[in-house]
Every structure is written in C-alpha cells, then in structure tokens.
A and B are shown apart, each in its own frame.
Chain A
C-alpha cells in the first residue's frame, strides 16, 4: 500500500534529520555527569554526558578545551553549552561542547565573594600587616602535600637556585573535608615552634572546588596570624584562593613561590660568581695606570733626558777629566742595564709581578706620598723608597 510513496534514501533521511536537529537545537545549556571521559592525543575531548535515565555523546574540540579551568574526570557534574551535531556516516548524534563549567561554579564564586568581604572586615587582609620576606632565609617551611607536584616543583627550583636554603616540609592534606584544618594546623605548628624563617603555603593546580580549602576561614586566619612571613602559591596562574590575600606575598604558582623566596640568595650567588672577574678588572685598570706612569721612565725616554741634560752642560764636560768621563760611561752603562732589566720586568706576564718592578715611592719627611710636582718644591727633602730600602734625596729643579 506504500508503493505509491517515493522511498527516501538513507542519506536523504539522515540529511533531513541532521537539518532538523542542528537547526532546532543550538545554544543549548545542559547539565549532567561526565562518564567515559576520553581525551585524545590531538587535544580533543570525547565523553558521555548522562543522568539517571539517559545519556548523550559529547565532544569538545581543542579550540574550546583550553578555556576550561579544570581537568574533567569521571563523575564530575558539569554544565555545558553547545549545539547538536549529527555524524551522518554512523547515524549518531552528539553535543558539540563549546564551554564547560563544574555545576555549582556560580554558587562557589558567590560564596567566595561573600567570604572575601567577611574576611576583609575581620582584618585578615589588612595591608599594614604585610611584611617583606626575609631576603636570605636559612630555612623555608613548605605546607603542602608531601607527595604532590607542588612540593616537587618547589624543591627543584630551590635546589637549582639556592641549594644552601634548608627546606622543611610540613605535610598537609590539600584536598577534601579535612584539608583546611590540616593546612591550618601546620601553619600554627610552624609558628608555635618557630620552625622556619618563611612559610610557603602551596598546592598544585585543580578545580576551583579543589582549591576551596585554601579559601577556608581556618586557613586564612592562620596565615593572617602567622608571625612567620608567608607566601601563597596555590594552583595555576589563573587560579586564586582567599589565602592569597592573607599571605604577605602571593605567588601565582608553587614554583613562583620558590623563586620569590630564593630571589636574593640567587642574586647573591650570581653576584659572587661575578666577584672574581670584577676584582681582576679593577686591579688591571690600576696596573695599567701604574704602567702608564712608569713609561715616562723607560730607557729611551731616560737616555733622551740625560742627553738633553748633558748637552746643556757641555761646559762642565769640557772641564771633566778622562777618568770622570769613563766613570760617567760606566754609570750610564749600568743605568741602561738596570733599565733593561726593569723593562723586562714590565713585560713580565703576571700582573702581580709589577710590584717588584722597581717602583720608587716618593714621600716627604713625614712619610706622606708625593704624587705631584707641586708637592716637591726645589730644596725640599724627600725619601725614595726602593724595593729593598730607602734613600733620602733633595729636590733640585725642574727638568
């Protein structure tokens, strides 16, 4: 009896259904429980959304998943928004999810806002109570899970940047009903026994719900009352907990907290590495200056001066005996020899050797160093200090 009706192809029927579903169901908000969560290696998430009596396939593509601030897991109650999508080849339909939040997320945020106002009124966040961290802590206390990634990150950062800082782990439960009291107890304990110079309160990333213990009044109060300076490093950059406002310093992550407590120690370590080259640079500059001063007394310059002096005293020479001439030659030869030795020393490789290069320290009778011509007027008596002793001399006249 249906012969006269034209049969639909499967494709045509599917196309009709697809059009009806996709055009009729978009901008949906659906709540349910995640099951069979299968993140793919390419970054997409496949899962089933279900409640007591029904289930629907769901997919969330990589382009959307990065905006989700928690890692979904089996049994999470979530609220998703998206549209229906039909996969013709298999005749299956699914929700294409564009955004996902944990159910009750809005309520949690509202509750956090309420607590934040309350804690501010109670003075837990008072900025005048904030203290600077000790620049060179000897011992850092870390309140966190002894097995968590947060502790591992902190230890790695501190070992690399400031291995001399001792770490004291104050193990705490960081998730679930007992977490807040456990964390608060460790903070109070560290204070009662003064176990460290600075206290890091840390936890790895998690959902807003997971981080709630760090917004609990017992924790916030313990941090606010801590006489040991505190730094919070809870979750990832985008996360926050009310303990952040109570701590003396807020770090975006546990690793960042470790970097902040070791900032000065690390800088010091870098500075010490620079000390050697710095000292060498300074002494080299000093020696270069001394060498420039000495150059005025090298053999060529001295001979030139002696020649000049001799020229101007021709008449003295004219009256000199042969013996005197010979003696002058000997003195000259000896002076030249000494100068050659000096010159050799000048070029000695070690900068330290310069000390013995034959400086003469010129001082007045009181021992004050004479560095300038003006301080050595003709007629004044001076002392010449050689490497092996001193001689007294009198200033004659300008050269």
Chain B
C-alpha cells in the first residue's frame, strides 16, 4: 500500500465509523485497522529526512546529480 492509498483508507474508515449502518463488530475491526494505518503513516512522516542534491555540469543533455554537503 502506498502512502496516498493508506491515507484514503483511513479517511474512508473514519467515514464508516461515523455511520450507524456499520455494525458494531465491524466498526471495532475498522477502528483497529485505522489505528494501525495511522501509526504507520505517522512513522513514515516522522522518519522522513530531508535529502538535498545538487546538479553538476551545465549540459542540457545530461547532468550529474550528487548529494549536497
């Protein structure tokens, strides 16, 4: 699952939890799934570390891209 689809799923779960049409047992299962996804998403976000690269060379045909100090 991608980050984007996980987010869509959590939003969908929040909708389902608000609906009185969702049986309680299913709501509990959805809640657990939603919390697991949320924790994973938060982890992904907080573990992201900025990557900075720099272009070397001035050709418009090909460039070398290296990490910037």
> Which residues of A does B touch, CB under 8 Å?
136, 146, 155, 158-159, 163-171, 185-186, 188-189, 192-193, 195, 268-269, 272-273, 275-276, 278-280, 282-283, 286, 289-290, 352, 354-355, 359, 361, 369
Residues of B contacting A354 in the complex (Cβ-Cβ under 8 angstroms): 24, 28
- Residue numbers in B under 8 Å from A268 (CB-CB): 7
B63 and A193: CB pair below 8 A? yes
Residue of A136, A192, A272, A283 near B17 (CB, 8 A) is: A283
Contact present for B50 and A158 (CB under 8 Å): yes
Are B50 and A167 closer than 8 Å at their CB atoms? yes
Name the CB-closest residue of A to B45: A269
Check A169 against B48 for contact (C-beta < 8 Å). Answer: no
CA distance A168 to B66 in the complex (A): 9
Residues of B within 8 A of A278 (CB): 14
Shortest C-beta distance, A73 to chain B (Å), equals 29
Q: Residue of A at shortest CB range from B24?
A: A290
Which residues from A are CB-within-8-Å of B13? 279
Sorted from nearest, which 9 A-B pairs have the closest CB atoms? A164-B48, A282-B17, A192-B60, A169-B54, A275-B38, A283-B31, A163-B48, A159-B50, A163-B50
Which residues on B sit within 8 Å (CB–CB) of A275? 10, 14, 34, 38, 41
Contact of B61 among A163, A185, A192, A289 (CB under 8 A): A192
Residue of A nearest to B27 (CB): A286
Chain A interface helix/strand/loop/mixed:
helix
- Known interface pairs A159-B50, A167-B52, A171-B55. Does A189 touch B63 (Cβ–Cβ under 8 Å)? yes
- Report whether B54 and A276 are in contact in the complex, using a CB–CB cutoff of 8 Å: no
Asked whether B55 lies within 8 Å of A169 as measured between CB atoms, the reply is: yes
Q: Is the CB of B28 within 8 A of A352?
A: yes
Residue numbers in A under 8 Å from B31 (CB-CB): 279, 282-283
Expressed in whole angstroms, the minimum distance between the Cβ of A158 and any Cβ of chain B is 6
CB distance from B57 to the nearest CB of A (A): 9
Q: Is the CB of B63 within 8 A of A166?
A: no
Q: Do residues B17 and A189 form an inter-chain contact, with CB atoms below 8 A?
A: no
Q: Are B17 and A286 in contact (CB under 8 A)?
A: yes
Q: Which residues of B contact A355 (CB under 8 A)?
A: 24-25, 28
B48 to A276, Cβ gap below 8 A? no
With both chains docked as a complex, state the minimum distance between the C-beta of A312 and any C-beta of chain B, in angstroms: 33
A354 to B68, CA, bound (A): 54
Assess whether A272 is in contact with B58, with CB atoms less than 8 Å apart.
no
With an 8 Å Cβ cutoff, the count of chain B residues facing the other chain is 39
**Chain B contact residues, CB within 8 Å of chain A:** 4, 7, 10, 13-14, 17-18, 20, 23-25, 27-28, 31-32, 34-35, 38-39, 41-42, 44-45, 48-55, 58-63, 65, 68
| Shortest Cβ distance from residue B61 to the other chain A in the assembled complex, whole angstroms | 7
A278 to B59 CA separation, bound complex (whole angstroms): 51
The winner among B49, B54, B55 for most chain A CB atoms within 10 A is B55
Inter-chain contacts of B59 with A (CB < 8 A): 189
How far in angstroms is the closest Cβ of chain B from A364?
15
The residue that A164 contacts in the complex, of B20, B25, B42, B45, with Cβ under 8 A, is: B45
Do B51 and A273 touch (CB < 8 A)?
A: no
Give the distance in Å from the alpha carbon of A275 to the alpha carbon of B11 in the complex: 8
Please indicate which of the listed interface residues A163, A169, A189, A282 has the most CB atoms of chain B within 10 Å of its own CB. A282
Considering only CB atoms, which chain B residue lies closest to A155 in the complex? B52
Other A-B pairs, 15, CB within 8 Å; known A155-B52, A186-B55, A269-B45: A163-B50, A164-B44, A164-B48, A168-B53, A169-B52, A169-B54, A188-B60, A189-B58, A268-B7, A275-B14, A279-B34, A279-B38, A283-B17, A354-B28, A355-B25
Chain A residues with CB under 8 Å of B62's CB are 193
| A99 shortest CB reach to chain B, Å | 42
CA distance A156 to B60 in the complex (A): 29
From residue A291, how far is it (CB to closest CB) to chain B in Å?
Answer: 11
The answer to whether A283 and B14 touch across the interface, beta carbons within 8 angstroms, is no
Bound complex: CA A330 to CA B4 (Å):
59
Give the CA-CA distance A355 to B28 in the complex, in Å. 8
| A168 CA to B53 CA, complexed, in Å | 5
| A146: nearest chain-B partner, CB-CB | B54
